[in-house]
Amino acid sequence: MTPTVSIEGSHLRIAPFGSEGQSLLMSVDEWRVLSRTVDAVIDDGYVSYDEAAARLGVHRSTLTDWIAQGRLQKCLIAGRGYVTAKSLKSVEQERNASERVRPASIVTIEEPRSKSASWRPAAGNAGPPAGTPIMLSAEALTLVRALTREDTATEPRRFPVDPAQAAHPGMYSWWGDDEARAVLGEEVGMELPRLLYAGQAGATKWPSGTKSAATLGSRIGTQHIKGNARSSTFRLTISSLLSTRLSLVPIAGGKLDPASNALISEWIADHLRVVIAPFDDRDALRRLEEEVVTHLNPPLNLEHCPPTEARARISRRRRDFGR
């Protein structure tokens, strides 16, 4: 039963209060202090799902997976989902750690370079410096080779060039033209390579084992090229970075108004291209995504990548988007 609140002079009465249906009478000043205290306890100890996803730089579906895995502890407060600040901090510290666990079955690749050469990100460089030992499984290596073939990139307005290929699950990489790299690079404070972002479509969710029906075509076509800021972390990142520059108008639910959303769709179509790499083993795809993204280290990816000032900027922009 929903209680009612009535004002009686300098006091307020809440009825019914408690399981026995009694009423509670307290001064308005006491209620204000109590209310502020409760808000402070919630703010200090709990973080909403949306804010937690933004701070970690992951999609809500990933957050749900981590809750199911026990990495994050959830709590419902007044019907709204939160995670505990303590568990969120633990995951943040874990993701910021420099050491990473590598797959057991690996292929080691070492690319030669001059010992005297100092590495600087080149315009087309999408991975780590030459000469760095690269640990990849054979399957991940195949995906990396496919995703770094810029000559196979497709303009969004023409996607999918091969509908049969796009009907599979797999991985994709997004590439930017010179203007995209300049504009987004200015927003994140670094010189960007052409390969900007990579992800997967259709992976089984673990540990639940929930199957996904998503394909490269549905993920890229309906959530990246079209969609809205809430439909994918990729589109959210692009929208948040261009928000001020394009005078975008956020609306409720983490979305953009129709006119602003059309601007983002047009910008993506004008300045970005996409490469797809079909891979039919949905159960292995999420593990392979981690390998591939860790290796490629695309600047607009947050998950599976080391912390940088540019990624911190992206996280802040995404967190503040729509506020």
For residue range 199-219, what is the model confidence (pLDDT) as tens digits? Answer: 999 999 888 889 999 999 999
Lowest mean pLDDT among 11-15, 37-41, 179-183, 193-197: 37-41
Please choose, from the candidates 156, 113, 104, 162, the residue with its C-alpha nearest in 3D space to the C-alpha of residue 135: 104
Residues 21 and 58 in one domain: no
Is the pTM higher than 0.85? The answer reads: no
Residues 164 and 239 in one domain: yes
Burial of 152 (0-12, 13-18, 19+ CB in 10 A): middle
Q: Is residue 128 part of a domain?
A: no
The total number of structural domains in the chain stands at: 3
User: What pLDDT was estimated at residue 124?
Assistant: 40
Residues 157 and 32 in one domain: no
- For 69, phi and psi rounded to 5 degrees? -80, -10
Query: Parallel, antiparallel, or unpaired for β 11-17 and 4-8?
Result: antiparallel
Both tokens assigned to 41: 């306890």
pLDDT at 121 over 70: no
Residue 223: pLDDT band with limits 50, 70, 90: very high
Residue 31: pLDDT band with limits 50, 70, 90: confident
Q: What is the mean pLDDT of the segment spanning 259-284?
A: 97
User: What pLDDT was estimated at residue 321?
Assistant: 82
Query: Which of 157 and 69 is assigned the larger pLDDT?
Result: 157
Residues 4 and 88 in one domain: no
Q: Is residue 78 part of a domain?
A: yes
CA dihedral 63, 68, 72, 74 (to 10 degrees): 90
Q: Is residue 113 part of a domain?
A: no
Q: What is the mean pLDDT of the segment spanning 232-239?
A: 93
Q: Is residue 111 part of a domain?
A: no
Gyration radius of the chain's alpha carbons: 23
Percentage of residues of the chain with pLDDT beyond 70: 83
Q: Is residue 23 part of a domain?
A: yes
Q: Is residue 103 part of a domain?
A: no
Q: What is the mean pLDDT of the chain?
A: 83
Q: What is the mean pLDDT of the segment spanning 276-297?
A: 95
Residues 278 and 289 in one domain: yes
The CB-based long-range contact list for 210-218 (8 Å cut-off, 24+ gap) reads 211/282, 212/169, 212/282, 214/169, 215/166, 215/167, 215/168, 215/169, 216/160, 216/165, 216/166, 216/167, 216/168, 216/169, 216/170, 216/172, 216/276, 216/278, 217/160, 217/163, 217/166, 217/167
Q: Is residue 64 part of a domain?
A: yes
Q: What is the mean pLDDT of the segment spanning 139-143?
A: 93
Query: Which of 118 and 181 is assigned the larger pLDDT?
Result: 181
Q: Which domain holds residue 82?
A: 45-95
pLDDT at 126 over 80: no
Residues 296 and 260 in one domain: yes
Of the ranges 32-46, 57-71, 129-143, 283-297, which is most confident? 283-297
Residues 284 and 306 in one domain: yes
Lowest mean pLDDT among 78-87, 225-234, 260-269, 274-283: 78-87
Q: What is the mean pLDDT of the segment spanning 22-50?
A: 79
pLDDT at 120 over 70: no
Residues 299 and 264 in one domain: yes
User: What pLDDT was estimated at residue 100?
Assistant: 43
User: What pLDDT was estimated at residue 134?
Assistant: 52
Residues 280 and 215 in one domain: yes
User: What pLDDT was estimated at residue 290?
Assistant: 93
Q: How far is CA 191 from the centre of its chain?
A: 21
pLDDT at 22 over 90: no
Q: What is the mean pLDDT of the segment spanning 109-120?
A: 34
Residues 36 and 57 in one domain: no
Q: Is residue 122 part of a domain?
A: no
Helix (H) or strand (E) holding 175: strand 170-176
Residues 296 and 164 in one domain: yes
